[in-house]
């Protein structure tokens, strides 16, 4: 025989079971939501990680390019500095040789022969000025005039003067109105050949491999 207490117990168990089932169901829903949220979180972390890695890679690449560019620039500057130094050394060596040539015995012949050849281009002018270094003017003036007179030049049309410019040696010739001018000075020869010297140094550096980027 089922008593009232038994019925109450059955009712309590039925109600309790419903509550338990409800919480189990709710728990399963929460578990699913948590799993979904966890997956979303993991995906977000992965995306952020990949974005961070790409960002770092881009920065590393930019830094690498900057360092390479800096290294190339420094190397180029070193080559240019060395090239300028070599050109200066070459010019200094050539200048020293020219000073020795100016003091040599054959310099006088060089001066007279080249002056006679140059004056042939001024035969149509009545007034011709020949600039010499002060040293050459004082030392070789009479000798040059004698040489020119012997070659058939009329000295009343030719004036030898000292120049204040540092032409080292040689001479500069121009007509009275300065419309025609020929620079045969040794300083001018050095200046005219400076580009050639630069090209020569450039080739030397390239042959040695120091000019490679």
**Domain spans, the chain:** 105-194
Architecture of domain 105-194: 2-Layer Sandwich (3.30)
By the 8 A CB rule, do 181 and 172 touch?
Answer: yes
For 196-211, the pLDDT digits (tens) are: 777 777 777 676 656 5
pLDDT bin (cut points 50, 70, 90) of residue 170 is very high
User: How confident is the model at residue 142, as a pLDDT?
Assistant: 93
Q: Phi and psi (nearest 5°) for 100?
A: -65, -40
User: How confident is the model at residue 63, as a pLDDT?
Assistant: 72
DSSP-assigned letter for residue 180? S
User: How confident is the model at residue 158, as a pLDDT?
Assistant: 93
Per-residue pLDDT at 137 exceeds 70 = yes
For 109-129, the pLDDT digits (tens) are: 999 999 999 999 998 898 999
| Gap between the Cα atoms of 68 and 66, Å rounded | 5
Note if the pTM is more than 0.85: no
- Give Cα 179 distance to the centre of its chain: 39
Structural tokens at position 14: 């039925």
Say which residues have a Cβ less than 8 Å from residue 118's Cβ, sequence separation at least 6: 171, 173, 182, 184
The CA-atom distances, in angstroms, between 47 and each of 35, 42, 80 are 18, 9, 49
Structural tokens at position 9: 């117990």
- Alpha carbon distance, N-terminus to C-terminus of the chain: 107
Structural tokens at position 181: 């001018």
């Amino acid at each position: 025989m089922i008593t009232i207490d038994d019925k109450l117990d059955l009712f309590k168990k039925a109600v309790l079971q419903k509550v338990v089932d409800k919480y189990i169901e709710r728990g399963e829903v929460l578990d699913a939501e948590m799993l979904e949220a966890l997956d979303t979180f993991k995906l977000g972390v992965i995306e952020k990680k990949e974005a961070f890695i790409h960002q770092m890679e881009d920065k590393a690449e930019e830094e690498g390019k900057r360092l390479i560019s800096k290294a190339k620039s420094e190397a180029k500057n070193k080559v240019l500095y060395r090239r300028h130094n070599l050109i200066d050394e070459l010019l200094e060596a050539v200048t020293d040789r020219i000073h020795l040539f100016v003091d040599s015995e054959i310099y006088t012949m060089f001066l007279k022969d080249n002056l006679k050849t140059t004056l042939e281009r001024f035969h149509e002018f009545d007034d011709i000025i020949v600039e010499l270094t002060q040293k050459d003017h004082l030392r070789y003036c009479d000798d040059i005039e004698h040489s020119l007179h012997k070659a058939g030049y009329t000295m009343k049309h030719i004036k030898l003067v000292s120049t204040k410019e540092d032409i080292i040696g040689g001479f500069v010739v121009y007509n009275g109105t300065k419309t025609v001018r020929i620079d045969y000075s040794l300083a001018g020869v050095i200046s005219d050949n400076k580009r050639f010297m630069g090209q020569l140094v450039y080739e030397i550096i390239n042959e040695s491999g120091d000019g490679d980027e």
